[in-house]
Structure 1
């Protein structure tokens, strides 16, 4: 088997199926990554969404015996939205991060990897392959870095020379000994703009992320958000782009290479108030096709309430009072109470006091009590 010729054929074929960049790396153990992950675990910087077994995250042969190489792929996604609706005082809107615009990228990348697998198996029927996207055990970023897709930036994203960090990543472990590509030299230099732009200080230093403070992670949690982070989220209802938009390597980059990645402006920049009462069926029909829906509607609704508080949207008071009175979920009731306190209209004081009397959940009750105190102090000032 002429692996050099096969590699070139795969590269050429990848261009015909909508893969924007492809690279090849060895299937050796990721020793440096292993040590970094141990430190992350010791510092409790992991989000909990990752594979917990560090050996599986760093040793490809545990996932595919006799692994010899890994193929990394990257697809560029848009950074600008066409015909974006404006958020107005009467109709406030939230925003999904760019990586969740368009069709769920997991489906898009799996489609490309499946086509690539079929092509390889047609050429080498005895080969064994294992593909993964995002939720697999391996670190997409470490694979992409080793395979020459881009360098690992201080913002903990892969930055490509062609597309910046606006790329989705996927990989395929193979038993074919492809010659590896050369990794790209780090080009961040002394720039520290992403670290400085992080709203919560989650970027502890260049290349080190405390996931528990990251807004992108926080917007995906389902419980009460610590108050110190609520004021940092703004109108983000899923994800965060701050460390990407601050990056000079992303300046002016905007690629519209894949129709299925084009966002529906009304979906990814939705009106906030309607989200508070959206049914499960409506949520699934509207947001189900995008990756930002994977945690369900509860985090999105909680974040929408926080966004309304961010805007101090007095027109949302009736909606928030309805949520406070009728929603069966303590997190949503309590966050609505907090928002009412932040909006700061004293006429809701009586409603909050009644809610406090009937509330059975301790955390929700604490939120209601705190908001009552805020309004009382406002009234006494």
Structure 2
């Protein structure tokens, strides 16, 4: 088998199925990443969404013992929303991060990887393969970097020369010894725009992220949002794009694909209708987005906080309805907090009227709503 020719054929085929960038590396352990992950966990930076087993994350052959190579792929996604509705008083809107625009990227990437696998199998019938996208055990970014798709910027994203950071990443372990590509030698230089502009100071340098402070992570948590971050998330319902938006390497880049269909009214939805949306309505409207993976509870909490951010007085009747009748204590509590933040002392009679009938955790938010100031 001429693996060099096969590699060229695989690259050519990949570009016909919507893969924008493809690279090859060995299935050797990621030894440098191993120590970084040990330090990362020791500092308490992990989000908890990642694979905990550092051995699995850094040793590809634990996932596929016959692996000889890893094929890394990148698919660019759009970052411009044409026809985006305006958020205005009386009709405030939230925002889903760009990685969640269109169909869930896990589905998009799996389809491409499945097609690529079928092609390789047609050429090498006895090949063994295993594909991963985001939820796999390997670090997508470490694989992409070693395969030459880009270099890791200070914002922690892989910066591709043609796609910037606006990319979905995936990889495929294969039993074929493809010639590896060289890593891309580049850097951010002295640019620190992403670090300087991060709303919570989550970027701690050298591409490292404290996920516990990252707005993208915080919007996906299901419990109470810490006080210090409530006004930091603004109107973000899921994710955060600030460190990508300010990156100079992203200027002028906007990649589009036919299967990434943008729906402005869904990606920048009105906040008030979200407050009492049923599970069925949520799944029917937002279920196809990657941003729906944690369910409606975090989205509704974030929508309530966004209304407080906007001081949206027209939403008070709906917030009062949620505060009194929602069966979930955290959602009721956040609604009471938002009412206090929007109305100030005017909210005191309403909050005091319901104080004694509430749980202690809700009462704490009621008091906080009347006392907490914007930070």
Q: TM-score, normalised by structure 1?
A: 0.96
User: Does residue 1:50 correspond to 2:69, yes or no?
Assistant: no
The CA deviation string for residues 272-331 of structure 1, in whole angstroms up to 9 with x for no partner, is 000001111110000001100000000000000000000000001111111110011111
Q: Is the 8 A contact 1:153 1:186 kept in 2?
A: no
Quote the residue 1:326 is aligned against: 325
The CA deviation string for residues 55-94 of structure 1, in whole angstroms up to 9 with x for no partner, is 0000000000021110000001001001000001110000
* Helix, strand or coil at the partner of 1:277: coil
Please state how far the C-alpha of 1:374 moved relative to its aligned partner.
5.9
Q: Is the 8 A contact 1:151 1:159 kept in 2?
A: yes
Quote the residue 1:285 is aligned against: 284
Matches within 5 A, 1:1-381: 1-256=1-256, 258-360=257-359, 362-373=360-371
Q: Is the 8 A contact 2:151 2:186 kept in 1?
A: yes
* Helix, strand or coil at the partner of 1:302: helix
Q: Distance in 1 between matches of 2:21 and 2:60?
A: 21
Q: Distance in 2 between matches of 1:207 and 1:348?
A: 44
Please state how far the C-alpha of 1:208 moved relative to its aligned partner.
1.1
Q: Distance in 1 between matches of 2:372 and 2:78?
A: 42
Distance 1:260 1:355, change over 3 A: farther
Q: Distance in 2 between matches of 1:44 and 1:173?
A: 30
Please state how far the C-alpha of 1:126 moved relative to its aligned partner.
1.0
The CA deviation string for residues 215-244 of structure 1, in whole angstroms up to 9 with x for no partner, is 000000000010101110000010000000
Q: Is the 8 A contact 2:19 2:74 kept in 1?
A: yes
Q: Is the 8 A contact 1:356 1:369 kept in 2?
A: no
* Helix, strand or coil at the partner of 1:22: strand
Unmatched segments (≥5 aa) in structure 2 = none
Q: Distance in 1 between matches of 2:63 and 2:43?
A: 27
Unmatched segments (≥5 aa) in structure 1 = 376-381
Please state how far the C-alpha of 1:96 moved relative to its aligned partner.
0.4
Q: Distance in 2 between matches of 1:370 and 1:21?
A: 50
* Helix, strand or coil at the partner of 1:110: helix
Distance 1:374 1:169, change over 3 A: closer
Q: Distance in 1 between matches of 2:272 and 2:298?
A: 15
Q: Is the 8 A contact 2:337 2:370 kept in 1?
A: no
Q: Is the 8 A contact 1:154 1:192 kept in 2?
A: yes
The CA deviation string for residues 167-193 of structure 1, in whole angstroms up to 9 with x for no partner, is 100000011100001111122111111
* Helix, strand or coil at the partner of 1:283: helix
Alpha-carbon RMSD: 1.1
Q: Is the 8 A contact 1:200 1:214 kept in 2?
A: yes
Q: Is the 8 A contact 2:68 2:176 kept in 1?
A: yes
The CA deviation string for residues 317-373 of structure 1, in whole angstroms up to 9 with x for no partner, is 11111111001111111111111121124332222112211112x322210122245
Q: Is the 8 A contact 2:154 2:194 kept in 1?
A: yes
Q: Distance in 2 between matches of 1:171 and 1:300?
A: 30
* Helix, strand or coil at the partner of 1:358: coil
Q: Is the 8 A contact 1:195 1:206 kept in 2?
A: no
Q: Is the 8 A contact 1:71 1:174 kept in 2?
A: yes
Q: How many residues align?
A: 373
